[in-house]
Chain A
Amino acid sequence: MRKSSLLVVTIAVTGALTLSACGSRGAKTGSDNAGGTTKVVIGVDAPISGKLSALGLGIKNSADLATKKANKDNLVPGVTFSIEAKDDQANPTSGKQNATALVDMKDVVGVVGPLNSSVSQTMQKVFNDAKLTQVSPANTSPELSLGPDWGSSKFTRPYASYFRTATTDVVQGKYAAQYLFNEAKKTKVYVIDDKKTYGAGLAAIFQEEFKKLGGTVAGSDHINPDDKDFSAVATKVASSGADSVYYGGEYPEAGPLTDQIKKAGAKVPVMGGDGIYDPEFIKLSNNNSDGDLATSVGAPVEELSSAKTFVADYTAAGYKDAYSAYGGYSYDAAWSIIEAVKAAVEHNGGKVPSDLRTKVLAEMAKVNFSGVTGQVSFDQYGDTTNKQLTVYSVKGGEWKAVKSGTYNG
């Protein structure tokens, strides 16, 4: 009889305590078992110093935030994630050295980066030979995923280890041409590029589409990325009678270029790709860029409910530098590797496989999750299936979204 009394009391008290605990569920942090036993490293390669560091630091910090979130949520029980960041300074040679170093680090199971397509060209083979997954949040050159003959619609994936969360210049360059010709009503464009893989490729795609639409190219030129004085090109633009300029390149040169073009007397908009979409462009133009245009990957952050948490978490984490144009894409790139690790562990009976790199690469093609930038998954070429982009314009010293597009092909 005493036992049964105790049983009744125990059940009642346990029930009461359980109900009480349910009432305060929202206050629980959810990191009951954050201390994992296996260290898993995600490599990051980006220009952390140098002219493009504003973008590179955003990439690094956003990947770091993803690993912290995964650890906090104990997403993969028994695994603690961290990053190993390498600085390529936007230099292809440094990129290759970094790729080799990351391959040699046995804890590294995947790499986020790089920013520049030209840097990626030197890294792809190194990663592929080591079966180490690479996910770029920013590369837009089509040949990285579609092969050298993509222009004639002969798509061949050069490296099975290469993935990207950013859309390609095929969409970006053509969309820009249509916007400039059909909506901004510009018919005579002057095309300039920086001779680099990204810039020259993007400018070529833009130019071809602009001509197809019926526009004319008033002239074309190249600049040296190390130059500061673009007055010779600016004078040519002014005397060409062009009603617009398209620049394939990045903001460190695009900012001074647009300033000098306008000072040369050509009061025409300069348009570029995601490489110029940064507040630094406006600063470097001496605030002489109102009306200039840029396309960039993705939809505006304020339109994405999924991005709100990312922005709040990034702010709360106290990173000194902004997440910049590729922050959301870098977070999603890191998260795709984390998801692949999770799947590899789950498919191995809950234990970390000894050949985790190979298993992560095998899981990448099946990754599918709701990320900061929308639904994240990859097609047969390793390209993102989420192909959104936006036209921005400088208004009052700030980039403002003008129009967004979604590729549904």
Chain B
Amino acid sequence: MSAASSDLLTLVAGIFGVLILASTIGYMLQQRLSPNGSNAAIENLNARIKAWWIMVILIGIAFVAGRIGVLVLFGFCSFAALREFVTLINTRRADHWALAAAFFIVVPLQYYLLWAEQYGIFSIFIPVYAFLLMPIISVLRGDTERFLIRIAEVQWALMICVFCASHVPALLTLNIPGYDGRNVLLIAFLVIVVQLSDVLQYVWGKLFGRTKIAPKLSPSKTVEGFVGGVISATLIGAALWWITPFTPVQAGLLAFIITLMGFFGGLVMSAIKRDRGIKDWGNLIEGHGGLIDRLDSVVFSAPIFFHIVRYWWSL
């Protein structure tokens, strides 16, 4: 067994341990406080834990399937996230072909470019080609009503749901000396730190939250949750240094940066939800809401994480 797969196994065992612990606590809380399903907070907690099991198993299957599995998984995530996003934006009939192109050409091509390891074109395909070609497709129908809003929103949807999200599997393409064949662990590091930061902010907030941090954007987020979550996720990131090419201090610093990006990403996506008068992006994940509700922090941290690692560690 290679070092990468034995590290992955240790990691999976650890995650399963955490989930078993979470399920046990959830079960005990339900027995004590919500025996007939009357406590909404506990029912939601248990729905979330159940959804976590499914998400972890799906990611695990993708990791086992290798590069193609990871690309298919994140390709599907981009597709579903884009579907949630475009549902909420201003579109008119004149955008029909542009939107069809976004779903059926841009999404597959962006992930194909990763498969083909064409980093140069991968990194500019959406910011340059899609950016210029999508408004051209829309303008051909001659409908100028709210034109700037329409093309800007579609581009934003593509940047968030496809371009930024695709930087998670893009970690597989980095060539880091002494880290051959272990890149999948970088994805695990990013996803675990960012998601644990979300979970820990929620837990710290529920236990000690007093002061609202952004009452207009996200009434459930508190200063205590934010500080506790970021510090504990940073420490966990440092403790996971053995799956990364980083030293413990570097791992902690990177974890700190991506948890901050994740937190602010969550605020930005909340602001968009408030703007459109909705609570959740969708209903894909029981207890969590839509896929974007779960992915917002990963999407904001992935490109920054990718570029820091690419600049300082990759050849």
Partners in one complex: no
